[in-house]
Chain A
Amino acid sequence: MSSFNSHNMIQALNEALDLYMAREDQAVIFGEDVGYFGGVFRVTDGLQKKYGAHRVFDTPLAEAGIVAMAIGMALENMKPIAEIQFADFVFPAFDQIVNELAKYRYRSGAQYTPKVILRMPYGGGIRGGHYHSQSPEAYFAHTPGLRVVVPSGPFEAKGLLLSCLDCPDPVIFLEPKRIYRASKAEVPSEYYTIPLDKAKVIRKGKDLTVVSYGAMTSTVMEAALLAEGEGYDIEVIDLLSLVPYDIKTIVQSVEKTGRCLIAHEAPRTCGYAAELIASIQQKAFSSLEAPIARVTGFDTPFPYTLENHYLPDAHRLFYEIARVIDYV
């Protein structure tokens, strides 16, 4: 019989790491402050004590070194799990991720297939200014060879992290830190996985499809409630995996609703929504009754004091939802 615990996302991620570390003796966890302290967000809390400092450890402060070390370990079939303390700090490691990790399988003719998972808290809403708030998913989604996965709640966080750990490809695992502790959910205590090739319809509706991921998903659900109050029936899709992404589920939904809106926190130009819109209009053109809309962060650096204006909230989403539905 499986049991459930009421966990927030931090606890769910910690449990996933714990289960994986217990199962895989080649797995190691490292990064800045992840060892003794258990991570600035406490995701790795208690793991060094349980698995030893040779398996869970702190590194010098160098993101490129953290990623490169993980690649080197994986060349020898270890299973490194590296944490980048904030996604905003990942850029010194960009070359190692984009030119090395992402391309190693391809360029070696699949002789070496380094499997590395990079966990990184991302996104705004914690009053962290430019450098503790950014959403860099589009940079990585643009790089062949990487998977990009984003959980939207505690249940998804544990199941997706375990799937990513089992997956043979390198993964950028973006953790929406705004909702790390925002809510609790029933999380099975056992080992379980969530498919990486399926988006999830988390609300059924017939008037408009909203596609989102990460922390924005719960904002979209709030907006759907506001819309319901006005008599609009909104379908909501939680993407879960950004690369590859489940275009089938989205197209099926849009063929039904005829209208679509994409929501994310990241800036608009060349943002992830642009890819979805291009794909949807190509595959569901004849079903569309209105231009596909996007609600995103602005093409500005992420602000500090005015972050509540930058981040799309439920009302801004509702405002755009109404415009798309009213389009004739």
Chain B
Amino acid sequence: MSDTPFSILNEDGSCASEYRNIISDDDLMHLIKLILFNRNWDKRMIMLQRQGRLGFYMTSTGEETTIYGACHCLNDNDPVFLSYRELGCLFYRGVEPERILNQLIGNAKDNCKGRQMPIHFTFIEHAIPSVSSPVGTQLPHACGSAYASKYQNTDKVCLAFTGEGTTSEGDFHTALNFSGEFEVPAIFLIRNNGYAISTPETVQTRAKSLAIRGEGYGIPGIQIDGTDILAVVHTMNEAVDRARSQQGPTLIESMTYRIGAHSTADDPTAYRSDDEVQQWQQHDNLKRMIDHAKWRNLWTDEIIHDEEKKADQIINETISSCEGWPPPEVETLFEDVYESLPPHLEEQKSEYEQYLNWKREHEIP
């Protein structure tokens, strides 16, 4: 294993000609525009949160190349198990912004019925299972889901995202061990963005990389430059081919940087230097994609402005159509715990209804 992550793009945005076909001009521009939209969206969501109109939010600035590049290599029905910083997967798969914002608000139109914090999405029609806060739990689910693909001969490949901090969890180990043992079509993609909230990567392990762990499970482990779209797509394509041709799982460690805060509840200035952030901003993954587009003569500077205008319009419309909806009806609190309402929940529901009636009668707010 080499000491530097696998990369293809040169610093000036060029690449050796044989690598150019890894992604078509159209697809490259499509991804860039999606990421531009995502950044505008992130900016607006942060504003909404600051204004008290959203409870919580998480951005993915600095890691979009890995997220969009990986999704680009899958079929739309391939299950993707998100950790929590992969909103891009939803945009890539065409989830309507309205449905995303309804979840973030947790209103009556949220397809998860307001049951989870913002960012904890589920979109079954886009093969996106439920996001969970305890980190790493989704990784062995991907193994089971991939076992189902093999068992049902559906040819599906399961992609599971995780952060580097999560690789210290038992579920990470179990997922890789089980997936190797059962030779399932799964891909485990670590976004190594340097920090688990405030904890630097160096605190997680003495191992010199996370990708080398693949070897211990008998599966390929590859460390890539996550700011290099060609390296991401090339490596993902190889992993997808391996999975679809029944050669088992792959572990990919994508070296990225979380340019924003962990979440709107975090203040990263308390644990990392401005210099460090600025260095990464200069090496930003979107900037590198744009440099590559320039090298291909696909880029004009108006694109940023045009896309921002388009995004603003969509986001404004989305906000006005999602805000103002009431929260889900109170009775939904008791639904979906089981398939049907068991007697003890029926009782609790009716007791609570009586209490609410009492409150109304006594005009208690």
- Nearest A-chain residue to B148, judged by Cβ: A76
Contact A65:B110 (CB < 8 A) given known A70-B144, A75-B141, A112-B122: no
B343 touches A244 (CB 8 A): yes
Distance between Cα atoms of A168 and B337 in the complex (Å)? 11
Q: Which residues of B from 108 to 153 have beta carbons under 8 Å from A? A: 110-113, 115-116, 120, 122-124, 129-130, 132, 134, 137, 139-149, 151-152
Task: Determine whether the beta carbon of A64 is less than 8 Å from that of B116.
Answer: no
Q: Tell me the chain A residues, 149-171 only, with Cβ under 8 Å from chain B.
A: 168-169
Interface positions of A from 81 to 130, Cβ below 8 Å from B: 92, 95-96, 99-100, 104-113
Q: Within the complex, what minimum Cβ distance (angstroms) separates A117 from chain B?
A: 14
- Determine whether A62 belongs to the interface, using a CB cutoff of 8 Å to chain B: yes
| Contact across chains for A69 and B143 when beta carbons are under 8 A apart | yes
Q: Which residues of B contact A303 (CB under 8 A)?
A: none
* A325 interface residue (CB < 8 Å to B): no
Please, how many angstroms separate the alpha-carbon atoms of A222 and B124 in the complex?
53
B144 CB contact (under 8 Å) in A69, A107, A112, A248: A69
Contacts known (A62-B174, A76-B149, A168-B339); A104 close to B130, Cβ less than 8 A: yes
Specify which chain A residues have a CB less than 8 angstroms from the CB of B170 in the assembled complex. 62, 64, 92
Contact B174 A244 (CB under 8 A): no
Judge if A60 is at the interface, Cβ distance under 8 Å.
yes
- Tell me the bound Cα distance from A247 to B175 in angstroms: 41
- 9 example contacts (A-B, Cβ-Cβ < 8 A) are as follows A73-B151, A78-B148, A96-B137, A99-B137, A105-B336, A108-B122, A111-B122, A113-B339, A169-B339
A195 within 8 A of B: no
A273 to B344, CA, bound (A): 16
Q: Give Cα distance in the complex from A80 to B120, angstroms.
A: 25
A28:B336 contact, CB within 8 angstroms: no
CB of A71 within 8 Å of the partner chain: yes
Known interface pairs A62-B178, A64-B174, A112-B129. Does A105 touch B337 (Cβ–Cβ under 8 Å)? Answer: yes
Cα A108 to Cα B143 in complex, Å, equals: 20
A203 within 8 A of B: no
Q: Which residues of B contact A77 (CB under 8 A)?
A: 148
Contact A60 B111 (CB under 8 A): no
Given contacts A95-B134, A99-B132, contact A110 B174 (CB under 8 A): no
B interface residues with partner A (beta carbon < 8 Å): 79, 110-113, 115-116, 120, 122-124, 129-130, 132, 134, 137, 139-149, 151-152, 154, 158, 170-171, 174-175, 177-178, 181, 335-339, 342-344
* C-alpha spacing A247/B344, complex, angstroms: 9
Q: Would B338 and A72 count as touching, CB distance under 8 A?
A: no
Query: Measured between alpha carbons, how far is A147 from B123 in the docked complex, in Å?
Result: 26
Contact assessment for A95 and B338 in the assembled complex, using a CB-CB cutoff below 8 Å: no
Q: Which 4 A-B pairs have the closest CB atoms?
A: A72-B144, A68-B140, A76-B148, A65-B174
Q: Is the interface of A mostly helix, strand, loop or mixed?
A: mixed
Best-buried of B143, B145, B147, B175 by chain A (most CB within 10 Å): B147
Report Cα–Cα, A194/B109, bound state, in Å: 39
Q: What separation, in Å, do the CA atoms of A169 and B140 have in the docked complex?
A: 21
A293 to chain B, nearest CB (A): 23
Return the chain A residue nearest B158 by Cβ. Answer: A72
Set of chain A residues within 8 Å of B111, measured between Cβ atoms:
109, 111
B141–A72 touching, CB < 8 Å = yes
List residues of chain A with CB under 8 Å of any chain B CB. Answer: 26, 28, 54, 59-60, 62, 64-65, 68-78, 80, 92, 95-96, 99-100, 104-113, 144-145, 147, 168-169, 197, 243-245, 247-248
Question: For residue B342, which residues in chain A have a CB less than 8 angstroms away from its CB?
Answer: 197, 243-244
User: Residue B152 contacts which of A64, A76, A110, A111 (CB distance < 8 angstroms)?
Assistant: A76
For the complex, what is the distance from the CA of A74 to the CA of B203, rounded to whole Å? Answer: 35
Instruction: Give the complex CA separation of A107 and B148 in angstroms.
Output: 22
A102 to chain B: closest residue by CB: B337
Collect the chain B residues with CB atoms within 8 Å of residue A109's CB. Answer: 110-113, 115, 122, 336
For residue A87, give the distance in angstroms from its CB to the closest CB of chain B: 20
Contacts A109-B336, A113-B339, A168-B339; A59 near B151 (Cβ below 8 A): no
Q: How far is the CB of B76 from chain A (nearest CB, A)?
A: 16
A82 to B50 Cα, complex, angstroms: 46
Q: Is the CB of B146 within 8 A of A72?
A: yes
Using A60-B178, A100-B132, A244-B343 as known contacts, say yes or no to A72 and B122 having CB atoms under 8 A apart.
no
Chain A nearest CB from B158 CB (Å) reads 8
CB distance from B352 to the nearest CB of A (A): 15
CA distance A112 to B171 in the complex (A): 21
Known contacts A72-B140, A99-B134; decide if A107 and B174 are in contact (CB<8 Å).
no
- Knowing A76-B148, A107-B120, say if A100 contacts B141 (CB, 8 Å): yes
How far, in angstroms, from A92 to B137 measured CA to CA in the complex? 12
Q: How far is the CA of A109 from the CA of B113 in the complex (A)?
A: 6
Inside 8 A of A113's CB, which chain B residues have their CB?
A: 339
Contact among A28, A69, A107, A110 with B116 in the assembled complex (CB-CB below 8 Å)? A107
Chain A positions within 8 Å of B116 at CB level: 107
Nearest-Cβ distance from residue B208 to partner chain A, whole angstroms: 26
Complex CA–CA separation, A110 to B339 (angstroms): 8
**Residue picked from A108, A147, A244, A248, most chain B C-beta under 10 Å:** A108
> Whole-angstrom distance between the alpha carbons of A64 and B115 in the complex?
25
Contacts A59-B181, A62-B178, A72-B146 supplied; 14 other A-B pairs, CB < 8 Å: A26-B152, A68-B140, A68-B174, A69-B147, A72-B142, A73-B144, A74-B144, A76-B152, A76-B154, A77-B148, A80-B144, A111-B111, A244-B342, A244-B343
Shortest CB–CB separation between residue B276 and chain A, in angstroms?
Answer: 33
Query: Taking A28-B151, A72-B147, A99-B132 as contacts, is the C-beta distance between A145 and B140 under 8 angstroms?
Result: no
**A70 vs B113: C-alpha distance in the bound complex, in angstroms?**
25
Q: A109-B110, A109-B122 are in contact. Are A78 and B336 (CB under 8 A)?
A: no
Beyond A62-B174, A64-B170, whether A73 also contacts B147 by CB under 8 A is: yes
Inside 8 A of A70's CB, which chain B residues have their CB?
144
Count chain A CB atoms within 10 A of each CB in B112, B142, B338 and give the residue with the most: B338
Chain B residues near A74 (CB-CB < 8 A): 144
Q: Is the CB of A144 within 8 A of B337?
A: yes
Q: Which residues of A contact B123 (CB under 8 A)?
A: 111
Closest to B114 in A: A109
